[in-house]
Amino acid sequence: MKVSVFRKAQFNAAHRLHNPKWDDETNRRIFGKCNLPNYHGHNYVLEVKLTGNVDPETGYVMDLGILKKIIDEEVIEPFDHRNLNEDTAEFRDLNPSAENIATVIYHKLRKRIAHEFEVGVRLFETERNFVEINI
Amino acid sequence: MKVSVFRKAQFNAAHRLHNPKWDDETNRRIFGKCNLPNYHGHNYVLEVKLTGNVDPETGYVMDLGILKKIIDEEVIEPFDHRNLNEDTAEFRDLNPSAENIATVIYHKLRKRIAHEFEVGVRLFETERNFVEINI
Amino acid sequence: MKVSVFRKAQFNAAHRLHNPKWDDETNRRIFGKCNLPNYHGHNYVLEVKLTGNVDPETGYVMDLGILKKIIDEEVIEPFDHRNLNEDTAEFRDLNPSAENIATVIYHKLRKRIAHEFEVGVRLFETERNFVEINI
Amino acid sequence: MKVSVFRKAQFNAAHRLHNPKWDDETNRRIFGKCNLPNYHGHNYVLEVKLTGNVDPETGYVMDLGILKKIIDEEVIEPFDHRNLNEDTAEFRDLNPSAENIATVIYHKLRKRIAHEFEVGVRLFETERNFVEINI
Amino acid sequence: MKVSVFRKAQFNAAHRLHNPKWDDETNRRIFGKCNLPNYHGHNYVLEVKLTGNVDPETGYVMDLGILKKIIDEEVIEPFDHRNLNEDTAEFRDLNPSAENIATVIYHKLRKRIAHEFEVGVRLFETERNFVEINI
Amino acid sequence: MKVSVFRKAQFNAAHRLHNPKWDDETNRRIFGKCNLPNYHGHNYVLEVKLTGNVDPETGYVMDLGILKKIIDEEVIEPFDHRNLNEDTAEFRDLNPSAENIATVIYHKLRKRIAHEFEVGVRLFETERNFVEINI
């Protein structure tokens, strides 16, 4: 029987939605206030989900302290209190929509977590707008 | 890689559970206080989930502003501050249980959203009682 | 040193805002959708606050089980799953605005609680609209 | 069309993580503060999910009052205000990790619920750490 | 008997803490990651509190729709999706700490609200860090 | 103008309500399930409130990082993952009711915080039961 374990974390970042291939008017029409030039920001809430077997010695799918450390290294340290467009290599040429941020986080975590586990990511941009990746 | 996006909304409505084919005593026994004749009400919280591919131009599965507009037109405008039993065509002959309300909302949204997207609906009647449709 | 203790409860009720001294158009202009004739409803969340001294024998200001029982008898039993306008004596001639509901609840609780305690009431009509009485 | 219904409940319990086959130092290294000898505790929040068809007579997948009664009997009554390690037969020889508690709850509920329904369990140990079983 | 009414709103903004009278090292030592040069951001949650008498005609202290409109004009329109340091006159020469943002909001609202009402402001920068003004 | 700043924290602890001057039957009658001998537990959520003037140099009432450090040292380190009755000097002879825990925390924090600030404490034992000290 597979069990999923979840760990929640938060990072506070600035971002702006912008497609450099479009002119300003198209960017403003498609992205609205999210395209304003000087950035805005969010308290991004991240839920990471690991699915696997329960280790009979520990009763754990994975020690959530270890998962917390991986999330801290891959997500919180590089993204927290940063400007995603300006300060991170990942979003230099990738629009930091919630979908793209979640996808980047998914791949960063996936390569740190053993393949016996499935990985899922839910990312809240606000309480009303959020995205999820489950593979 | 498929990504799901979610948009949350709320509507405040009155309703009453009642099966007109049953006598009053059966209705009261099955539905309890939910059958009381003069209605009660809820702050219904709705989460709509769309699953699809991320558009590389926008970084969006779907612009959540467009999804919000569809939810407003199909759900909030007709149901908010209404009596579901008395004021809506959908629940004239259908018992407005959370399951049935979610099913009606699912079908209303499904026909407004392109078929390349999967649609899911979660509806909270209270913080402790909620329902979900995922197809 | 005074300590306040709080107990949270919920009731689900229908209501409608209406002033019988006004014509329909004035009612609609002032109360908007809250005036619609067939009622709407809310999950009302109530927080009751008692302030007093800590009893050195129990470590309690008041046993919250006793406070829960008073709230159940005075608020939950008469208001839960009711239509406030139609089913309750208190709002037959009093508009069931959140302010008035909180005031009625305050007086009902105040007369059940010993005068050595201060009583406060906070009532959430929605997560975004709420009222408070502190005397 | 299948619909899922959810019921949320809470129990407050003490526990301690410990593997009797390991020495004290290994227990402390693997379980950290969760291994401290005199127990600590949590407000465990449980979400139970049933998936099935909607009964056209009631509009219910299952009456959530019946589900609440089953949860009360199987989970709240035996676990609430208990020490899971000391007071319950289930965790006498099973480490009460969130994964194992959820698994025990899943099996207790599964045997009380008709096989036409799928059963899922989500258990929050804290707001940041939670587990889920979906079969 | 005075009653308080509350209206909750949200705005998403970028900011950076910086005192131009200090050198870079002092700014970094005092403000830590909040001083990083390219801004970060938050979902600021605002609760506005008005205290006054209940109007016997409406049952309202103030129509929360009117309060919402004032909050939209004074806070949401100018601050939402903005960079507080770069895009607003108020924080050109004032460090946008939560305390200072709340104070600015308090004064903006105070001058729009009749003096018979007391005004209070609570501002959440994150779920764990928030500030309040009650006069 | 005084501003209040708040910092939220959490600790997970076991406890039991018991008055050693009473016989077992009285303890059970007064404290109910909270008196069960092997302890139960809670995720205690603590909100600490400081009220003071805003420092014009920093825009802070107090750096919340400093307040967090004080809370960690005085509350989280000694109480988290502990059995309050067994593992702490404060509750060896004091019943660990929410009121008494909040009072102990208030005094521990009060002696670490400069007297120009007012200190308040709110402690949630569960989401429905909480206490507050404001002096």
- Tell me what pLDDT residue F135 has: 80
User: For this structure, is A90 an active site residue?
Assistant: no
Q: How far apart are CA C106 and CA C135, in angstroms?
A: 10
Below-50 pLDDT ranges, chain E: none
What are the angstrom distances between the C-alpha of C23 and each of B95, C29, D85, D113, E60?
34, 10, 67, 55, 18
Average pLDDT score, chain C: 97
For residue D23, how many other CB atoms are within 10 A of its CB?
A: 9
Q: CB of E47 within 8 A of CB of E7?
A: yes
Give the number of other CB atoms < 10 A from CB of residue C111: 9
Into how many domains does chain A fold? 1
pLDDT at A135: 80
pLDDT tens digits along B7-38 = 999 999 999 999 999 999 999 999 999 999 99
Reduced to 3 states (helix: H, G, I; strand: E, B; else coil), residue E90 is: coil
pTM of full prediction above 0.95: yes
**pLDDT score for C135:** 80
Residue-level pLDDT at D105: 98
Residue B113, SS3 per DSSP: coil
Annotated catalytic residue: which of A81, A86, A90, A107?
A81
Please report, for the domain that includes residue D57, its CATH number: 3.30.479.10
Residue type, C46: L
Write the pLDDT tens digit of every residue in B43-84. 999 999 999 999 999 999 999 999 999 999 999 999 999 999
Contacts of E50 in chain C (CB under 8 A): none
Residue D46, SS3 per DSSP: strand
Of the pLDDT bands very low, low, confident and very high (cuts 50, 70, 90), residue D75 is very high
Determine the pLDDT at residue B135.
Answer: 79
Distance CA D16, CA D86 (A): 10
- What band does D128 get if pLDDT is binned at 50, 70 and 90? very high
**Cα distances (Å, whole numbers) of residue F8 to E12, E125, F38:** 21, 12, 29
Q: C56-103: per-residue pLDDT in tens? A: 999 999 999 999 999 999 999 999 999 999 999 999 999 999 999 999
Q: Choose, from D40, D73, D77, D81, the residue flagged as catalytic.
A: D81
What SS3 class is residue A41?
A: strand
Total residues belonging to chain F: 135
Separation between Cα atoms, residue C115 and residue E74, nearest integer Å: 43
Domain housing E56? 2-134
Give the C-alpha separation, C55 to C116, whole Å: 12
Per the annotation, the verdict on C125 as an active-site residue is yes
Q: Which residue of C has its CA nearest to E61?
A: C99
Among B32, B100, B128, whose Cβ lies nearest the Cβ of D59? B100
Neighbours of B125 (CB within 10 A): 23
Largest CA distance in chain D: 60
What is the per-residue pLDDT for A89? 97
Identify the pLDDT of residue D135: 80
**Tell me: the pLDDT tens digits for D26-67?**
999 999 999 999 999 999 999 999 999 999 999 999 999 999
User: Which residues, including other chains, have CB under 8 Å from residue C92's CB and lie 6 or more apart?
Assistant: C85
Which residues of C are less than 8 Å from E58 in CB distance? Answer: 19, 30-31, 95, 97
